[in-house]
A and B are shown apart, each in its own frame.
Chain A
Amino acid sequence: MKEQTPSFRDLYLKSAVLSNPVLVQMVGLCPAVAATASVRCAVLISAALSLDLIVTCVLASVLMKRIPRAVRVALYLGIGLALLCPLLYFIETRTLMNLGQGTKVYLPLLAVNAVTALHCEKVAVKKPVRMAFLDAAAVSLGASIIFLIVGTLREVLGSGAFAGIDLDLPFTLKGLSLPFGCFILFGFLAAGLQAISPYLRQAQEEEPDAPAAQPQEADPQDDLWSDILEAEAASSERLAALDEFTERLIGGEEDAQ
């Protein structure tokens, strides 16, 4: 496969920001719920996710191109377990870190996370090793940044502390430390990303040799997004009719009932 290798900056902008794994592709949400409960968890899970993602992607790119898909996905789980269980064992027995029940469960669960499976299948097994590594690094960086931001917000707002240090806030919104708070914050962050992404895209297009193809719509088996994307496209067409609709909404027509 002859292909121009893009620079890390381009790749980062694309895989980590514009199609951020968590906020845009909505994968890896299960570890995200655990990771973002506090800053410490965010650091730990981000590190574990990055390790798992990079190692699995590189191994997949080097060794697994000939192996059938069904066996490959099981191997990703095996590699994940081989990496994460020793890590968990080390943390449990050799350090004084007291993991909550949540983190303890979610850490091995990272072995079956959707980010790894998605990027191994879509990028790593189709591209050269260097590309697989860069993609995995960019994606894990993109996810980690989100984890850290949301982890900080949830810990500060939800429990009034930062990295375990009490901040003495007058009141806290305990709800944000529960899983639903994580999704609400993701919603706002995703909206923020959506607001700035046109500018980022513009900046990227000004780069002369930015590669055009996204590794996204490659796999016919994975057309699960198409319905949502179609619906989205249809709804953005209606944006034009927005003002008219509002006019009618607040106009003086009669209540049917």
Chain B
Amino acid sequence: MPDSATKRTEGAQKPSHVTALRLFGDYLLMLLVPTVLAVYYYGLRALAVVGVSVGAAVLTEAIFSAVLGRSYYVRDLTSLFSGLCIALMLPAGVPFYVPVAASAFAVAAVKMPLGGSGAPIMPAAAGFAFAAVCFRTEIFTYTLRAEQKLLGAQSLGALLGGGNAMRLNAANLMDVLGGNVAGPMGTGCGLLMLACGVYLLMRRPRALLATAGFLGACALWAAILPRSNGGVLTNIVLELCSGSLLFAAIFLVTDHATLPAARWHRVVYGALCGVLCMAMRRSGVFEEPVCFAIVLGNALRPVLESILPGGGQAQRKEARA
């Protein structure tokens, strides 16, 4: 690869040989699994939310492209990915205008104006954060089919936010890991997220460095500064399984455009997102602030890369690989 091309990889423009199509194709394939699970738990309503969210994202993109007079954006699949991600982080009973607003914001205010699939801020995270600010009650109310859930309409996040814990035993641990608690419709099942992680390990092993940093920081925080008086292990399991944390660890933290190039920068970046997320869980008003943490982490990532040593060399190596 010529030297000028290597230099250009510094910044938002990642090596162009990583194809957006292939990348997001993989992610979409992985997202299908939680989607199926969401339909299993919540029925057709979940499918409707997914459809509305994805439809809004694609439609916004089409309108935006038409206004700007360009047509090629839709093909890179990022809008589909953003719409699907947002839908899976929402509760299944959410009013339809919430996914519409979130997806439209993600595409119109983040993805399209900030450079398509190379946007320095992750559209899905920003879209969800925007919706969380605008519709806080709608987004964190989990009443649909609550009677079938382990804790009724109470989510793990609400449980921890109230300073409570539950005693984990073999029976309810399976409920927690299987996602049979009230919460976002596609993100609760820890086992499925693990499976997605294994798939990602085969496809993009180095992206999982960020996931490792993220989960490590979250677990460490949960162990040192627990929100409830349960045991250390209980706290870690509940913190990690609550809300969209595992989902974010697999799908949002590993986003290609916002991931640092150097390996250990990825670990630090993931850890930073984790610390921000846990700090926001404690200080903020949102039950699940992980998307805010990702947006802020995205914004701090270039600063981080400029402060930490060893960026340039690793970046070149990465570009050559």
Contacts and interface: CB of A to CB of B under 8 A. Distances in A.
Report if A and B touch in the complex (beta carbons < 8 A): yes
B113 A250 contact: no
Contacts of B318: 256
A248 B101 CA distance: 32
A34 B147 CA distance: 46
Contact of A246 (B72, B134, B206): B72
> Which of A173, A252, A254: most chain B CB closer than 10 A?
A173
B44 interface: no
B203 A255 contact: yes
Interface of B is mostly: helix
Contact of B17 (A172, A184, A187, A256): A256
B216 interface: no
Contacts of A255: 17-19, 22-23, 203-204
Nearest to B200: A257
A224 interface: no
B197 to A, nearest CB: 15
B113 to A, nearest CB: 7
A171 B23 CA distance: 36
A173 B15 CA distance: 37
A256 B206 CA distance: 10
B97 interface: yes
Contact of B133 (A175, A248, A250): A175
A255 B95 CA distance: 38
A253 interface: yes
Nearest to A244: B16
Contacts of A188: 109
Contact of B206 (A172, A191, A257): A257
B130 interface: yes
Contacts of A191: 113
Nearest to A157: B134
A249 interface: yes
A249 B203 contact: no
A204 to B, nearest CB: 25
Contacts of A249: 16, 19-20, 76, 117
A187 B113 contact: yes
A253 B17 contact: yes
A178 interface: yes
B133 A174 contact: yes
A17 B48 CA distance: 45
Contacts of B97: 170-171
B36 interface: no
Given A178-B133, A250-B21, A250-B75, A256 B15 contact: yes
Contacts of B134: 172-176
Interface string B92-120: 00010100010000000100010001000
A178 B129 CA distance: 13
Contacts of A174: 133-135
B310 interface: no
B17 A173 contact: no
B49 interface: no
A249 B97 CA distance: 33
Nearest to B25: A255
Nearest to B118: A249
B207 interface: yes
Given A175-B130, A250-B21, A245 B16 contact: yes
A252 B126 CA distance: 29
A253 B19 contact: yes
B205 interface: yes
A155 to B, nearest CB: 15
B109 A184 contact: yes
Interface string B263-276: 00000000000000
A246 B97 CA distance: 33
B307 interface: no
Interface string B204-224: 111100000000000000000
A220 interface: no
A100 interface: no
A251 B19 CA distance: 7
In the A-B complex, the 6 residue pairs with the closest CB atoms:
A175-B133, A257-B204, A175-B134, A248-B16, A253-B17, A173-B134
Interface of B: 15-23, 72, 75-76, 95, 97, 101, 109, 113, 117, 130, 133-135, 203-207, 318, 321
22 contacts: A170-B97, A171-B95, A171-B135, A172-B134, A173-B101, A174-B134, A174-B135, A175-B130, A175-B133, A178-B133, A246-B72, A248-B17, A250-B20, A250-B72, A250-B75, A252-B19, A253-B19, A254-B17, A255-B17, A255-B204, A257-B18, A257-B205
